[in-house]
Amino acid sequence: MGAFVPPPQGKAVAVRCPPRLGARGIGHVVGSCIMAAPAYASDTSGRDFQQFVDDVGRNRDFFISVASAAFAFGQLVAAFKASPEGKIQDALAKTMEPFEPSRPQDEVIQRPVMETLRQRIASWQQHATIIGGRYQSGKSVATEEALRGVRGVVRCTIESSDWKRMMFEELKVEDGGLFTEVMRRAREKLKDFPDNLTKFPILLLEVPRTTTEGINLISSTAKDVATDKIGSAIHVIVSASSAAVALAFDAGGTERQEDIWVGDLTEEEAKEFLALHGHENKWEDFVDACGFRIGNLAKACENLKKGMSLDNTKQEYQRLATVEVVGFLELQAHPKVTGREMLQELLKVYPEGIPEVSNGIRILPREVAALIRNKSCHAVYFHPIKKRFFFASKLHKEAAEAQLANP
């Protein structure tokens, strides 16, 4: 049976179908009929369209058979999609799509940390990767940009201790066994894409600042799939919303995880970011009001559009810094060290920060981070690479000075 050729203008072509046709021809005939119908209808007199109706009527039994076959085929397709193999293939197809960040590329400034992340992804062999930094320092954007276009990425937001089940549901797989098979096949499939940034599948876990449950499960999962089973390893990347959340993660000690820090913007990065929003000539005013944290600068740009001045924005950030400092003052960071004493020590050595062992006392960063997270008093953070405690910002430092001056 030859391919359907559209009729010349003003000509109609009758659809002649034999009473019996094998399954191989069904698709061709149905497609030809669909393509032929507009050609019949193009005759404004309606005579050719009536011919089409007559031709269909003469082959009614055939079209009933085609419809029955199509219905049966649809049932087979639905049954396959519902089977474990069908679910694996659907999840695999989704996983192999190029990763698409939530923010358009022309709205993202390129930062050196993004290249650091790309190099880590390209050279990965084992251990989890933890992306840390202050809240709203740009960790998610940096991580997504590093993964732009990368195949083999599964993303999951950790909102509860039941995050694994939610991830399986998102992928439409039933359990960990099917998920493991999807990841195994993804690794094999990545061999077909030699230009892909990595030859290993990636599990990107995003942890919001409000998340308090499920972090231990993240740690054990990363230890299991990214370290212990190298033969079928998955690169687990944890993007923690704040420095305190990042410290709650433990894949088996610092030697079994790679920490990458996303800091505040540099002066040049701040200028570039504000230029995207049309404020390149006022960058000093913005930095004075907000500091160099990208989230604060973005919020200031939004506030300005709504009619809120930079002075009012600065006052609001000063208020928030004071609230967080007051909360930190009340912490019992160690049986022998209060939050107040930590702030006093930080002021003495600003901006160098203080080590976790100070005056012969070891202050455990993970325990302090848990207190900070639970009390929502993010006035201080611990830098996992520099191994020191720092003020969260200059505004927090100024708020601490004001509070400690009035005991």
The yes-or-no verdict on residue 322 having pLDDT over 80 is yes
Q: Which parts of 83-156 fold into alpha helices (H)? A: 84-95, 112-123, 139-146
Beta strands 354-355 and 388-391 are antiparallel
Selected residue with higher pLDDT from 12 and 355: 355
What is the model's pLDDT at position 80?
A: 65
> What's the CA gap between 202 and 182, in Å, rounded?
12
What is the model's pLDDT at position 314?
A: 95
Instruction: Give the CA angle between residues 123, 383, 216 to the nearest 5°.
Output: 75
> What's the CA gap between 237 and 222, in Å, rounded?
9
Beta strands 202-207 and 153-157 are parallel
Contact between 196 and 206 (Cβ < 8 Å)? no
Contact between 213 and 244 (Cβ < 8 Å)? no
Q: Look-up: residue for tokens 């989704």? A: 94
Nearest to 183 by CA among 199, 195, 197: 199
Q: pLDDT tens for residues 266-312?
A: 999 999 999 999 999 999 999 999 999 999 999 999 999 999 999 99
Long-range contact pairs involving 97-102 (C-beta distance under 8 Å, separation at least 24) = 97/151, 98/149, 98/150, 98/151, 99/144, 99/147, 99/148, 99/149, 99/150, 99/151, 99/153, 99/155, 100/148, 101/141, 101/144, 101/145, 101/147, 101/148, 102/140, 102/144
Q: How many helices (H) and strands (E) does the chain have?
A: 17, 10
Q: pLDDT tens for residues 72-117?
A: 667 666 676 678 888 899 999 999 999 999 999 999 999 999 999 9
Q: Tell me the average pLDDT of the chain.
A: 83
Contact between 264 and 137 (Cβ < 8 Å)? yes
Contact between 147 and 200 (Cβ < 8 Å)? no
Residues 6+ away with beta carbon under 8 Å from 365: 247, 356, 382, 384, 389
Cα atoms in the Cβ-side hemisphere of radius 13 Å centred on 369:
27
Q: pLDDT tens for residues 42-84?
A: 444 455 555 655 665 666 666 566 566 666 667 666 676 678 8
Q: pLDDT tens for residues 201-215?
A: 999 988 887 776 667
Burial letters for 254-265: b for 16+ Cβ neighbours within 10 Å, e otherwise? eebbbbbbbbbb
> What's the CA gap between 73 and 69, in Å, rounded?
6
Q: Quick one: DSSP state of residue 20? A: -
